[in-house]
Amino acid sequence: MKKRPLVVVTRRLPDVIETRLRELFDTRLNLDDKPLSAEELAEAVRTADVLVPTITDEIDASVIGKAGPGLKLIANFGNGVDNIDVPAAVARGITVTNTPGVLTEDTADMTMALILAVARRIPEGARVIPDGNWAGWSPTWMLGRRITGKRLGIVGMGRIGQALARRAKAFGLSIHYHNRRHVPPKIEAELEATYWESLDQMLARMDIVSVNCPHTPGTYHLLSARRLKLMKPDAILVNTARGEIIDEGALTKLIESGAIAGAGLDVFEEEPAVNPRLVRLAKQGKVVLLPHMGSATVEGRIAMGEKVIVNIRAFVDGHKPPDRVLPSML
Ligand code: 8YV
């Protein structure tokens, strides 16, 4: 690869990152910050040496098929790579990288915040005074549910799942998890975490369930209608991973019918479109909906940009980029 490859970035990144990219490489930045159209994305892969996409770019096999001969690296600005057909890219000789590790704590914070927001009705309560509806205190008004002493079931015990477990333990929750494999014994002991080989059995016993696994072909609708029905009627579900992991239509129906008490969702199946029935449930205070902001901190976005740059530089210098994603990892 040439020393100053053309790096095409599909969305605005923090100023310091854009400045550094300009210093190091030839760049084409999207100063509009609008998601690229299909034609613009095709043009980007046709002309770029390095593409820096985000979650709003669907780089499927047909987009990869339009790649020009120069495109050798897709350095995703994001941890999840479900926006990219990694096997198709790799088959075409294109390396894919992501930004793991730097958004772990922020996403775990937001997951904990969602648990508290749903259980303690924070968004509902926060509207009362600005809306002029506070007539005074009453012993039986705005009662939420205590989280201390409850059971938290984490679906996917990777970095974010473990960071959530540390926080939740400090809040007095007992930690349970389902994962492809056990976490190392030292971590399991530190978290006093109980491993559930059967997701079904875990779901049936938890007070709070948090989805923290990646979206892969194997986790699409992992929380299917059948599995969601196993949850306790007073349980709540939170998702800061990917909308596609939960059958959102089934979840909506179960909350509407009272079969699941509530949910906190930061991600949706058809972002940015959100099912109007979920929006209605949010207005009724049964669900808390956030616009995919789990990792949205200034520090986190800069760290993600720095990771992108480290990966591009390693690749340009002929080294293996540190955050290479292989099809076997999915
Ligand atoms: C990012 C995310 O905002 O990194 C991820 O996987 O889901 C997000 O938190 C997004 O990916 C940026 O492209």
Contact 66, 46 (CB under 8 A): yes
Closest CA to ligand 1's atom 9: 295
Give distance in angstroms: CA of 139 to centre of ligand 1. Answer: 41
- pLDDT reported for residue 155: 98
* Topology adopted by domain 6-101+298-329: Rossmann fold (3.40.50)
- Residue to probe by mutation, ligand 1, list 59, 79, 102, 105, most atoms within 8 Å of CB: 79
Cα dihedral sign, 293-299-303-305 = positive
Cα dihedral sign, 214-320-67-43 = positive
Catalytic residue check, 242: yes
Nearest atom of ligand 1 to the alpha carbon of 80 = 6
Determine phi and psi for 288, rounding to 5 degrees. -115, 125
Active-site annotation holder among 242, 244, 248, 301: 242
- Domain ranges, ordered by start, for the chain: 6-101+298-329, 104-289
- pLDDT reported for residue 194: 98
Before 69, cis peptide (omega within 30)? no
Active-site annotation holder among 269, 271, 277, 324: 271
Question: Does an H or E element contain 237, and which?
Answer: strand 236-239
The set of protein residues with a Cβ atom below 6 angstroms from ligand 1 is 54-55, 77-80, 103, 294-295
Q: What is the ipTM of this complex?
A: 0.93
- Residue to probe by mutation, ligand 1, list 105, 295, 299, most atoms within 8 Å of CB: 295
Nearest atom of ligand 1 to the alpha carbon of 301 = 3
Closest CA to ligand 1's atom 11: 78
Catalytic residue check, 182: no
Say if 6-101+298-329 and 104-289 have the same CATH topology.
yes
Give distance in angstroms: CA of 47 to centre of ligand 1. Answer: 25
pLDDT averaged over 10-residue windows placed end to end, the chain, 330 residues: 92 98 97 94 98 97 98 98 97 98 98 98 97 96 98 98 98 98 97 98 98 97 98 98 98 98 98 97 97 98 98 97 95
Alpha helices by DSSP H, the chain: 15-24, 38-47, 61-65, 86-91, 104-119, 122-128, 159-170, 185-191, 199-205, 225-228, 248-256, 276-283, 298-316
Active-site annotation holder among 120, 159, 167, 292: 292
Closest CA to ligand 1's atom 10: 78
- pLDDT reported for residue 107: 98
- Residue to probe by mutation, ligand 1, list 86, 103, 219, most atoms within 8 Å of CB: 103
Closest CA to ligand 1's atom 1: 78
Nearest atom of ligand 1 to the alpha carbon of 296 = 3
Catalytic residue check, 205: no
CA–CA gap between residue 184 and residue 168 (Å, rounded): 19
Query: For 104-289, which CATH class?
Result: alpha beta
Nearest atom of ligand 1 to the alpha carbon of 77 = 13
The residue written with tokens 């969305």 in the block is 11
Contact 30, 50 (CB under 8 A): no
